[in-house]
Every structure is written in structure tokens, then in C-alpha cells.
């Protein structure tokens, strides 16, 4: 495949320019700074692809350390596309466009016979198809990682543990509570109780749209875990609809202190501490 490699080597700049032009057409809304960074990634990919075709590859497309290097660079380029906001379709179209760009170059620059030209085009197409699969897998993996990081960031924002008074912390919950988040709520609440040496924790569920038997079970486990640390938990903000649902489900909440609003929950917390809500200011932290 030295013919393909030599032609790519001699026309590397024109191949890269044509590729960037396709990128601008494929993703017209891309930021200029992102295009500049992707230019570097694509340039490195062209360089490694050229190096692959310049090697003796007797095993065909997808074999040898040279092609491994091409795959790694293709995955890096795809990850950059995902981080810069390109869609899977735009990324796949970008990679597959190399077929027509390099193919037209082969037709124009080579003096090989038709059979040799067909062999070079077939080898090029096979390599680009393989890279398209690699880039798709890398794109999906990168997007999943981005979504996970965003999810963790949202959980961090939606599950704060706030010290609001001496020995009292508040954890307002917002959004859906699933099994993973319920474990996180318990873990962060217990850490906050220990860190702040708090004796009372207020869990406000006003912002939780649905409270079913599973959520109630998680809440009872959290209450029991806090009790083992010598603390009490007050759950506030259960809506009338949620209360009716829990009664119908026959959920045992007898060991849980509940109040209808955050205000009444705070009053109960002060009562449990033996303090009045208008206590001396020096007791605050």
C-alpha cells in the first residue's frame, strides 16, 4: 500500500484542507475555537494514517502496531468531537468523508492501472470503515462519561447538607430519588452529621415530585442509620397527595418524625434541642 501512503504524504496539506472544509459544512454551528482544535486532531490523524499506508502491511486493514496508532488517534479525535458538541451523525460523516477526499486524490494523482487503483481504493475504504466503527464507539463512550459527570454534578447541587444552626443541619432534596441517589443521600447525610457534630437533621422533600414505597423505604433506612450515630431526622414537606399514597401503601413511618413544612420542622428541631427559635445569637455557627 505504499502508493496510497506516498500520495497522502505528498498531498497531506490539501487532504487536511478538504477535510476541514467538510467539517465546516457538516457542523456549521461549531465554534471557531473548536474547529481550530479539531484541525490539530485531524492533522495528526492524517499523519498517522499516512504512516500506516507507508508500512508493509501484509495482514490487511486493521493489523499491526501502525494501525493501532491510527485507531487510538481516531478515538481521540472522536472524543474531541463529542466534547465540542458535534452529533454522532456529524462525527461519522466527518470520518467517512475521507473516503471521497482521498479517493478523488488517488484517481487524480496515481498513474496505476485500473486493477491497482481498485486495490488501493478498496484498501482505503476498508481502513476508513474500520475507523468509522472506532470513532462511533469512542464517541458513545465519551458522551456517556460526559453525561455521568453532569449527573454527578446535578446530584451535588441537588443534595446539599447545610449547617443552619448549632447541632442542626438541613438537606433539601429536589428531583427524583432513585436507588443510587438514595444511597448518596444517606452517605452524605451521615458524613455531615459526623462532620458537624449535629444532633438533628432535617430532610426537606418539598421538591421531590413522587414519594412512593421505595422512596419511603430509603427514608426509613436513612433515619435508622442516623439514629445509630445518636442523631434524629425530621422529614418535612410531604405533600397531601404523597401522604395519601403512603397510607394506601401501608408504609410504616411510625419511627419517623414528620412535619408538613420546613418551618414547623425547624420548630420541632429547636424543641428537640431544648432551645427556642429566638435563642441567643452566639449559639449560631
- pLDDT, tens only, 29-75: 666 667 777 778 888 888 888 888 888 554 455 566 778 888 888 88
Q: Tell me what the mean pLDDT of segment 112-128 comes to.
A: 80
Q: What is the pLDDT of residue 31?
A: 64
Residue 280 has pLDDT above 60, yes or no: no
Q: What is the pLDDT of residue 11?
A: 83
Residue 161 has pLDDT above 80, yes or no: yes
CA distances from 164 to 30, 171, 192, 204, 270 (A): 45, 10, 12, 13, 12
Mention every residue, 6+ apart, whose C-beta is less than 8 A from residue 23: 30, 35, 38, 42, 94
Q: Tell me what the mean pLDDT of segment 79-90 comes to.
A: 82
The percentage of residues in the chain with a pLDDT greater than 70, rounded to a whole number, is 85
Q: What is the pLDDT of residue 281?
A: 37
Tell me the pLDDT of the chain averaged across its residues.
80
CA dihedral 103, 108, 113, 118 (to 10 degrees): 10
The pTM (predicted TM-score) of the whole model is 0.51
Domains and CATH numbers, the chain: 2-153 (1.10.490), 162-283 (3.30.750.24)
Measured CA to CA, the distance from residue 202 to residue 238 in angstroms comes to 13
What are the tens digits of pLDDT across the range 250-269?
767 777 899 989 999 999 99
Range with the poorest average pLDDT among 144-153, 158-167, 180-189, 191-200: 144-153
Give yes or no for a contact between 204 and 172, defined as CB atoms under 8 angstroms apart: yes
Measured CA to CA, the distance from residue 28 to residue 32 in angstroms comes to 10
Q: Tell me what the mean pLDDT of segment 78-93 comes to.
A: 83
Q: What is the pLDDT of residue 233?
A: 93
Greatest mean pLDDT among 5-19, 137-151, 261-275 lies in 261-275
Residue 14's Cα: distance from chain center in Å?
Answer: 36
- What is the SS3 assignment for the chain? CHHHHHHHHHCHHHHHHHHHHHHHHHCCCCCHHHHHHHHHHHHHHHHHHHHHHHCCCCCCCCCHHHHHHHHHHHHHHHHHHHHCCCCHHHHHHHHHHHHHHHHHHHHHHCCCCHHHHHHHHHHHHHHHHHHHHHHHHHHHHHHHHHHHHHHHHHHHHHCCCEEEECCEEEEEEECCCCHHHHHHHHHHHHHHHHHHCCCEEEEEEEECCCCCHHHHHHHHHHHHHHHHCCCEEEEECCCHHHHHHHHHCCCCCCCCEEECCHHHHHHHHHHHHCCCCCCCHHHCC
Burial class (CB in 10 A: 0-12, 13-18, 19+), 180: exposed
Q: Tell me what the mean pLDDT of segment 158-183 comes to.
A: 83
Residue 207 has pLDDT above 60, yes or no: yes
Residue 283 has pLDDT above 50, yes or no: no
Measured CA to CA, the distance from residue 109 to residue 261 in angstroms comes to 78
Q: What is the pLDDT of residue 278?
A: 47
Amino acid at each position: 500500500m505504499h502508493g496510497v501512503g506516498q500520495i497522502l504524504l505528498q498531498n497531506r496539506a490539501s487532504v487536511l484542507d478538504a477535510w476541514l472544509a467538510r467539517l465546516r459544512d457538516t457542523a456549521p454551528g461549531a465554534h471557531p475555537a473548536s474547529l481550530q482544535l479539531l484541525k490539530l486532531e485531524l492533522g495528526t490523524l492524517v499523519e498517522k494514517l499516512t504512516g500506516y499506508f507507508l508500512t508493509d502491511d501484509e495482514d490487511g486493514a486493521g493489523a499491526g502496531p501502525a494501525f493501532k496508532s491510527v485507531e487510538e488517534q481516531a478515538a481521540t479525535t472522536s472524543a474531541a468531537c463529542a466534547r465540542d458538541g458535534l452529533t454522532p451523525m456529524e462525527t461519522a460523516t466527518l470520518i467517512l468523508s475521507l473516503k471521497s477526499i482521498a479517493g478523488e486524490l488517488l484517481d487524480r494523482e496515481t498513474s496505476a492501472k485500473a486493477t491497482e487503483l481498485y486495490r488501493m481504493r478498496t484498501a482505503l475504504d476498508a481502513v476508513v470503515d474500520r475507523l468509522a466503527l472506532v470513532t462511533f464507539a469512542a464517541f458513545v463512550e465519551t458522551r456517556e462519561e460526559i453525561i455521568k459527570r453532569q449527573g454527578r454534578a446535578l446530584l451535588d447541587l441537588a443534595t446539599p447538607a447545610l449547617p443552619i444552626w448549632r447541632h442542626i443541619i438541613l438537606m433539601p432534596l429536589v428531583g427524583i430519588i432513585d436507588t443510587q441517589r438514595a444511597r448518596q443521600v444517606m452517605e452524605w447525610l451521615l458524613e455531615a452529621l459526623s462532620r458537624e457534630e449535629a444532633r438533628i437533621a432535617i430532610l426537606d422533600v418539598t421538591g421531590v415530585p413522587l414519594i412512593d414505597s421505595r422512596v419511603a423505604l430509603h427514608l426509613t433506612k436513612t433515619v435508622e442509620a442516623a439514629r445509630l450515630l445518636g442523631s434524629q431526622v425530621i422529614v418535612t414537606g410531604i405533600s397531601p397527595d404523597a401522604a395519601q399514597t403512603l397510607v394506601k401503601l401501608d408504609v410504616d413511618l411510625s419511627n419517623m418524625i414528620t412535619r408538613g413544612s420546613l418551618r414547623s420542622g425547624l420548630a420541632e428541631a429547636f424543641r428537640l434541642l431544648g432551645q427556642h427559635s429566638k435563642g441567643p445569637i452566639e449559639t449560631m455557627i
